[in-house]
A and B are shown apart, each in its own frame.
Chain A
Amino acid sequence: MNAILLLEDGTIFEGNGFGSQGHACGEVVFNTSMCGYQEILTDPSYNEQIITMTYPLIGNYGTNDQDYESSKCYARGFVVKENCDYPSNWRNSKSLNEYLKDHNVVGIEGIDTRKLVKHIREKGAMRGIISHGETSLDVLKAELENYPGLVGRDIVEEVSTSKAYQWTQGVENIIGEDQPEIPSERFKIVAYDFGIKRNILRLLVDQGFDVTVVPAKTDAKEVLAMKPDGVFLSNGPGDPAPLSYAIENIKSLLGEVPIFGICLGHQLLSLAMGATSYKLKFGHRGANHPVKNLATGKIEVTSQNHGFCINLDSLSDKDVEATHINLNDNTLAGIKCDSKSAFSVQYHPEASPGPHDSRYLFDDFRSLIKKNKGK
């Protein structure tokens, strides 16, 4: 036992370290996806989180050169039942262990992850510190005590791009599968990077969009000056409430240009329209969440990753309509505002990892832009 996970309530899990040596604080959360750990580790929304995988056997297929959602590993720590050091997959290029080492991320294996998950389920997501190596428990306790957690903090800035750039790559071919036909009529999109996942960018490109990614704090005027046909609000880590700059910018953009938001982008759009947010007990993280599309009555199995949520009740007197509901706990999963040509979803239609059921939302964004242009 050379690694531990210490929780803010004093609970200790002892296990074996893998990946990098060292220690790190973060919010301890769990994800129920049975595969897709490479995408999860590189998703900027996991900034400052220690991720526990509920599926016990992780690392089986290694990591490869394609399945990155960003260039970095944002998770602060990775907790699994059994890490696999002998990956087997034709695309594998590096084992999970090596990958985490390369990215200075601490991993711990050999703990009763189900016990940990149930603990979080019952007590709520909480602060924790993961350590692999010699650091004494007292030092870890002290560090954990000083760690502020996520509520009320802006942790977007550190994951957002520092300068604007163009993204041109679409979804990559893995096994010679059918590729989508890219519409010939092109539109210009500005995507706010609050921690954007690459698969969102890829799917935007596949819609025939010319995509410019801008830093989180980019002023609305600057964006409008670029004369975009649509603005995309990306996913990202942490609490939406303190991101007042983003909320103000969105307020300025509303009504000027069609807007589509995902996850944090959805929360920010909602807040900009006057809704309120709150922290979920342990969040939604997984690739199996049923969401009902209230317009069609159809169910989408969705990929989710959020710890905060928009109050459904806070929409009631606003010019906003709930469009999607998470059926597991009846929380809000999507909104739209027809008068301002804006819509957003709490979950991840870009999946990666997860099912592709909700990709139609990217088509919807295109249709909205097209309709708006026709006006």
Chain B
Amino acid sequence: MPKRTDIKKILIIGSGPIVIGQGCEFDYSGAQACKVLKQEGYEIVLVNSNPATIMTDPELAHKTYIEPVTADVVEKIIEAERPDCLLPTLGGQTGLNTAVELAESGVLDKYGVEMIGANLDTIQKAEERDLFKKVIKDIGLEVPRSGHAHTWEEAQEVIEHVGFPAIIRASYTLGGTGGSVAYNMDEYREFVNQGLELSPKSQVLIEESVLGWKEYELEVMRDKNDNVVIVCSIENLDPMGVHTGDSVTVAPAQTLTDKEYQLMRDASLKIIRAIGVETGGCNVQFSVNPENGKMYVIEMNPRVSRSSALASKATGFPIAKMAAMLAVGYTLDEIPNDITKQTPACFEPSIDYCVVKYPRFTFEKFPNTSSDLTVQMKSVGEAMAIGRTFKESFQKAIRSLEIGRDSLDNKYIDANITDSDLVEKLRGWGWDKLWHLAEALRRGMSVDEIYSYCKIDRWYIENFKEIINLETKIKSMKLEDIDAKLMKQIKENGFSDNYLAEIFNVSELEFRERRKSLGVKAVYKMVDTCGGEFAASTPYLYSTYEDECEANPTDRKKVIILGGGPNRIGQGIEFDYCCVHAAFALKEIDIEAIMVNCNPETVSTDYDTSDKLFFEPLTFENVMDIVEVENPYGVIVQFGGQTPLKLANALMEAGVNIIGTSPRSIARAEDREMFNQVVEKLNLTQPFSGTSRSYEETLEIANKLGYPLLIRPSFVLGGRAMVVVHEEAALEECVKNAIEASGEHPILIDKFLDDATELDVDAICDGSDVVIGGIMEHIEEAGVHSGDSACTLPPVSLSAEILEKVCEQTKALAFELNVRGLMNIQYAIKDDVIYILEVNPRASRTVPFVSKSIGVPLAKIAAKVMTGMTLKELGFTEQVKPEHYSVKEAVFPFLKFPGIDTLLGPEMLSTGEVMGISDDFGMAFAKAQIASGNRPPKGGTVLFSVKKCDRAKSVELARELSSMGYKIVATKGTCIELINNNIPSEFVLKITEGRPNIVDMIINNEIDLIINTTVGAQSIKDSFSIRRTALDMSVPYVTTMRGAAAYTKAIKSLKENELSVKPIQLYYDK
């Protein structure tokens, strides 16, 4: 029975902005679903607020709504579109929750919309803990024993059946305070009483401890005929206690016998049937007691997940695409295997390599929070590596992370750590535990002893031991004594050229030549889903060191696109979006597109995106190996963010043709001294500035320029270690951090322009023409990182004259820097003077936003320009000036990091972005706020607590809000100012002034909106708990005056007009 013909129109819900725990894997899954269902002839309606996604490209769906993914907005879309059904399983937890809300509130019934893939009952059974437990027990499986208690007496009953050790957690506490483990009755009594006190509802959850157990995950697919297959098994290297998303994971499972694996498989089949996932994918997590194999079911997700993206990339089995096809009625045997084309999809992939996923953390961005791993996910991205052995994959995974580490060397940790501290590290939950584990092995600690501390399976420890033993051997040898056989063995074990060159004290190139002269070269093997049993027609490759190479290079003209590696704050999905567009563009003009990337979440690593995919770390070694096999016409380094740019010079020196803007031009823009000459030559203006390599030098410059100053490292993305310094006292610390982040490059010191308007401009240049893609005005003043600032396209507060000048300057810079392709310039406007802040001759974070806003695929056009086509040929000769407003807003991970301040600054902290579109600026801004989870309140009380210089401005806003019926409360200074201006306002105590104070009011739900600006270390410290409590209590807050002004406009628009929805295709048609 083929697909359903009774349905015509399908609504797909996307996952919204990238947040920790919900990354770009849902763009990958959603884009696959849109593509395949459109091919199948269905009319696709899509809603997703995230403009940086491939799925929201206008070609992917018939109607694309870049609107907030909230139940009320999706209802409007349903009302307008009347889809036959809704596919809720591809948009992560957001998609699922929104669908549940729509179903529970009766909206789906009202409009006759059928949920396909998973229905309400199924989702509830999987998501509601008590229901889930019951279902699992009914089918004869076990979950960890647990119970709730409200009193010590109840707790005593619970412990009877839970047993020791037990984890005690206080219920309903905010921010997840974690659990305490009790091993005896005394400890139990203590923790229960503590928990009861901590919990606002006097309730504790007592759970059987499975800490130290092993964790597994199975990816399951089911079709409507009840055919079920397991796509992949995944084993966590870290034991239970670390969130799977933060765990190093390995596929397939390594240490289960077939008997044990089949029991897990049987359990998964029972669970998917009992929970009732009718069609599509789900994942089931298990924990296994390493002492006796006892197995517990931990949870299941009735939807496509992060792990399914990983499993798809690990096996070549496209779970999301299949899930979409199954949802419309196909069965697994009716769908061909994507890779072999000859065999059907109703099989279980067999892989002949080992896959390691390593999470990417950004603790350096949040220095005030614990970097220990817990059950709360904290990683912002991940890298995956494929090799023929675990050792090879693991070492490849480390260097894929781009954290400046390419081995388990002890130079990355305190090599002089005492043995007892080392043991503490092994017992602890630090993200870099494996480096300490390696050090323990180096010091001769036994595998059993290490295991007793960290509970990482001995199999992995033994593998690490082999790596360390080989490392020790290498370190005792001279390069010339290493023969071909040993060299091959070293490379088979995954050691990087760079690390080996360091050991032998030669340059990486010298080492590379030596290795090649011994005949030791990387070969490429195919990911083919079937362990080589059938011929594969899809070129998806990874490197290893063996005999046979399956790369089969063609003799077509080809271009290699270097991707962006793992997502991190500052470099995420936006750059992957650009890389994907580059691949599409090359295919359109008949150039073979070869993608290199190592991020399993992305669309770029979908083997469908390019003509050929190399799943490899983005290092000089790995890229050169590919270049030598493929011999491409050129390499694109402009699109993947800082990752490929860092390689540009080395590649160019190795003779690789870097297409587009040359690395020399890039250096001219990045190098401060060279850039100063450019600015001078063009007669443009920059803030006064200087460069320095030491504190003393910086101090001298500071004294010359005067405060405030903007201090930053060069050659980094995302404003790493970038700060505004207002006084000399704070200078030294900032300079130290910046110098550290800058590495070999000098740090930059700029005179900071207080209260200037910042602009972002994206443009394309082909050498003879420059076309402006878009000019974005930042909502927040200069000083807030452009990635964290909201912005609007077109600008709202600048004169046409200024904008015209900005365009002229952009063109002049593009020509002077000899740009071929994309460039991004940041300007600050103060007192009608245009200052150039920085120029980036590469794809920027804003390219997808601008493209969505103006309806022109800038990255695609730029890629074609880079291959030599002209803008005239491509028909893009004039700036598109839309009549509607597009507002971008940033989304932050603060909630995941207890104790972090939410103030914005020059260091980028956001993980994702949303877009609001409307013909009215206020409404566009309102939509962006709703989409980012900062929904303006319909009424209620607004709290003002602003710094002195903002008081005058707060008068206007308070008047406006007051006239719209909001009650105003304010701290002393602001309050007096308001009352003096005849604005009714109540006085509230600051935290330092006594009680009840602001924080009490926030906790008591007496505040509906907070406008809080602050300056200076002490007052930032004093007002911290206002912002943190607002965040924890989900009260909307704004921390800049400009932001508050825009927010007030948004409130006004929402008061005056009803929020309406419109697909982007209609905005472009105008």
- Residues of A bordering B, CB below 8 Å: 30, 32-36, 38-39, 54-57, 60-61, 64, 66-67, 81-82, 84, 86-91, 112-115, 117-118, 121, 174-178, 286-290, 292, 297-299, 301, 327-329, 351-356
Contacts of A301 in B (CB 8 A): 229-230, 346-348
B932 to chain A, nearest CB (A): 43
Please state if A34 and B351 are interface contacts (CB–CB under 8 Å). Answer: yes
Interface core residue of A35, A54, A87 (most chain B CB under 10 Å): A35
The smallest C-beta distance from B531 to any residue of chain A, in angstroms, reads 3
Contact (Cβ within 8 A) B293 A356: no
Closest-by-CB residue of B relative to A56 is B388
CB-CB < 8 A to A287: which residues of B?
A: 258, 348, 350
- Whether, in the assembled complex, B97 has its beta carbon less than 8 Å from a beta carbon of chain A, the answer is no
Known: A88-B459, A115-B548, A174-B263. A57 touches B389 (CB 8 A): yes
A35-B258 in contact (CB<8A): yes
- In the complex, which residue of chain B has the Cβ closest to the Cβ of A119? B548
Contacts of A55 in B (CB 8 A): 252, 350-352, 531
With contacts A88-B457, A177-B263 taken as known, whether A64 is within 8 angstroms of B258 at the C-beta atoms is no
Q: What is the distance, in angstroms, from B214's C-beta to the closest C-beta of chain A?
A: 10
Q: Which B233-279 residues have a C-beta within 8 angstroms of A?
A: 252-263, 265-266
B531 near A86: Cβ-Cβ < 8 Å = no
Residue from A56, A61, A115, A327 in contact with B333 in the complex, judged by beta carbons closer than 8 Å: A327
Task: Given A56-B388, A287-B348, decide whether A114 and B255 contact each other with a Cβ distance below 8 A.
Answer: no
Q: Can you give 27 contacting A-B residue pairs, CB < 8 Å? A: A32-B352, A54-B531, A54-B533, A57-B389, A61-B257, A67-B259, A88-B459, A90-B290, A113-B352, A115-B548, A117-B533, A174-B293, A175-B293, A175-B294, A287-B258, A287-B350, A288-B348, A290-B332, A290-B343, A298-B226, A299-B225, A299-B331, A299-B333, A301-B346, A327-B333, A327-B343, A356-B266
The answer on a CB contact under 8 Å between A34 and B350 is yes
* A117 → B minimal CB distance (Å): 4
Assess A86 versus B458: contact at CB under 8 Å? Given A114-B532, A115-B546, A115-B547.
yes
Q: Which of B225, B347, B531 is the most central at the interface, judged by chain A CB atoms within 10 Å of its CB?
A: B531
| B371-392 at interface with A (beta carbon < 8 Å) | 388-390
Q: Check: B227 CB closer than 8 A to any chain A CB.
A: yes
B257 contacts A290, CB within 8 Å?
A: no
B525 at the interface (CB under 8 A from A): yes
Instruction: List A contacts of B349 (CB < 8 A).
Output: 288
In the assembled complex, B412 has its CB within 8 A of some CB on chain A? no
Residues on B with beta carbons closer than 8 Å to the beta carbon of A36 = 257-258
Residues of B within 8 A of A289 (CB): 347
B20 within 8 A of A: no
- How far is the CB of A234 from the nearest CB of chain B, in Å? 20
How many angstroms from the CA of A115 to the CA of B526 in the assembled complex? 11
Cβ of B534 under 8 Å from chain A: yes
Give the A-B contact count at a CB cut-off of 8 A: 174
Tell me whether A328 and B262 are in contact in the complex, defined as CB-CB below 8 angstroms, given that A35-B256, A38-B257, A64-B257 are known contacts.
Answer: no
What would 17 more interface pairs be, CB under 8 Å, given A56-B354, A327-B346?
A: A32-B533, A55-B531, A56-B388, A57-B389, A61-B255, A81-B389, A86-B458, A89-B255, A90-B292, A117-B531, A121-B532, A290-B332, A292-B333, A301-B346, A327-B347, A328-B534, A355-B265
Contact A286 B350 (CB under 8 A): yes
Which A residues are in CB contact (< 8 Å) with B252? 34-35, 55
Pairwise interchain contact B344-A327, C-beta atoms closer than 8 A = yes
Q: Which residues of B contact A354 (CB under 8 A)?
A: 258, 262
Cβ-neighbour of A54 out of B229, B350, B354 (below 8 A): B350
Q: Which residues of B contact A82 (CB under 8 A)?
A: 388-389
8 Å CB contact of A121 from B254, B331, B533: B533
A81 / chain B contacts, CB cutoff of 8 Å:
388-389
C-alpha spacing A180/B344, complex, angstroms = 32
Residues of chain A lying within 8 A (CB to CB) of residue B293: 90-91, 174-175
B603 contacts A by Cβ under 8 Å:
no
Residues A114 and B546 in contact, CB atoms below 8 Å apart: yes
Contacts of A298 in B (CB 8 A): 225-227
In the complex, what distance in Å separates the CA atom of A57 from the CA atom of B255? 10
> Quick one: closest B residue to A34, CB to CB?
B252
The residue in chain A whose Cβ has the minimal distance to the Cβ of B253 is A35
- The smallest C-beta distance from B298 to any residue of chain A, in angstroms, reads 16
C-alpha gap A228/B447 in the complex (Å): 55
Chief secondary structure at chain B's binding surface: loop
A156 to chain B, nearest CB (A): 25
Give the distance in Å from the alpha carbon of A38 to the alpha carbon of B353 in the complex.
Answer: 20
Give min CB distance, B713 to chain A, whole Å.
Answer: 42
A174 touches B266 (CB 8 A): no
Distance between Cα atoms of A91 and B459 in the complex (Å): 14
Beyond A86-B458, A299-B333, whether A32 also contacts B262 by CB under 8 A is no
Residues of chain A with a CB closer than 8 A to B262's CB: 351, 353-356
CB distance from A292 to the nearest CB of B (A): 6
Contacts of A54 in B (CB 8 A): 350, 352, 531-533
Complex contacts, B256 vs chain A, CB 8 Å = 35, 61, 89
Residues of A contacting B: mostly: loop
- Residue of A whose beta carbon sits closest to that of B530: A32
| B345, closest chain A residue (CB) | A290
Contact A90 B258 (CB under 8 A): no
- Please give me the 4 A-B residue pairs with the lowest Cβ-Cβ distance, nearest first: A36-B258, A54-B531, A353-B258, A88-B459
Contacts A67-B259, A298-B227, A352-B258 hold; do A178 and B350 have CB atoms under 8 A apart? no
Docked pose: A352 CA to B261 CA in angstroms:
11
Report A123 CB to chain B, min CB distance, Å: 13
Q: Are A114 and B548 neighbours in the complex by a CB distance under 8 Å? A: yes
Q: How far is the CA of A8 from the CA of B985 in the complex (A)?
A: 95
**Is B291 part of the binding interface, using a Cβ–Cβ cutoff of 8 Å?**
yes
Chain A, Cβ-Cβ closest to B489: A110
Q: Tell me the chain B residues, 528-561 only, with Cβ under 8 Å from chain A.
A: 530-535, 546-548
Instruction: Say yes or no for B295: interface residue by CB 8 A criterion.
Output: yes
Contact present for A175 and B531 (CB under 8 Å): no
B468 to chain A, nearest CB (A): 14
A57-B354, A57-B390 as given contacts; A112 in contact with B546, CB under 8 Å: yes
Closest to B547 in A: A112
Residue of A nearest to B350 (CB): A32
Q: Which B residues between 323 and 373 are near A, CB-CB below 8 angstroms?
A: 331-333, 343-344, 346-354
Complex Cα spacing A178 to B534, Å: 37
In the complex, chain A residues whose CB is within 8 Å of the CB of B388: 56, 81-82, 114
Task: List residues of chain B with CB within 8 A of the CB of A32.
Answer: 350, 352, 530-533
Q: A35-B256, A90-B293, A301-B347 are in contact. Are A56 and B140 (CB under 8 A)?
A: no
A32 CA / B230 CA spacing, docked (Å): 15
Instruction: Determine whether B883 belongs to the interface, using a CB cutoff of 8 Å to chain A.
Output: no
Alpha-carbon distance between A353 and B531 when the two chains are bound, in angstroms: 17
In the assembled complex, the Cα of A301 lies from the Cα of B390 at a distance in Å of: 27
Q: Does B816 contact A (CB under 8 A)?
A: no
Please, how many angstroms separate the alpha-carbon atoms of A82 and B349 in the complex? 20
Partner of A117, one of B259, B389, B532: B532
A35 touches B257 (CB 8 A): yes
Query: Shortest Cβ distance from B956 into chain A, in angstroms?
Result: 67
Complex-state Cα separation, A113 to B344, whole angstroms: 25
Say yes or no: is B754 at the interface (Cβ < 8 Å to chain A): no
Residue of A nearest to B266 (CB): A356
- A33 touching B350 by the CB < 8 A rule? yes
Name the A residues within 8 Å of B346 (CB-CB).
290, 299, 301, 327
Q: How far is the CA of A213 from the CA of B354 in the complex (A)?
A: 41
CB pair A328 B347 closer than 8 Å: yes
Q: Would you give the shortest CB distance from B292 to chain A, in whole angstroms?
A: 6
A84 contacts across to B, CB distance below 8 A: 459
Q: Does B462 contact A (CB under 8 A)?
A: yes
As a 0/1 sequence over residues 958 to 984 of chain B, the CB contacts with chain A under 8 angstroms (1 = contact) are: 000000000000000000000000000
Chain B residues positioned under 8 Å from A177 (CB to CB):
263
Q: Which residues of A contact B257 (CB under 8 A)?
A: 35-36, 38, 61, 64, 67, 89, 91
Q: Complex formed: what's the CA distance from A57 to B447 in Å? A: 20
Question: A356–B253 Cα gap in the complex (Å)?
Answer: 18
- In the bound assembly, the distance between CA atoms of A146 and B655 in angstroms comes to 55
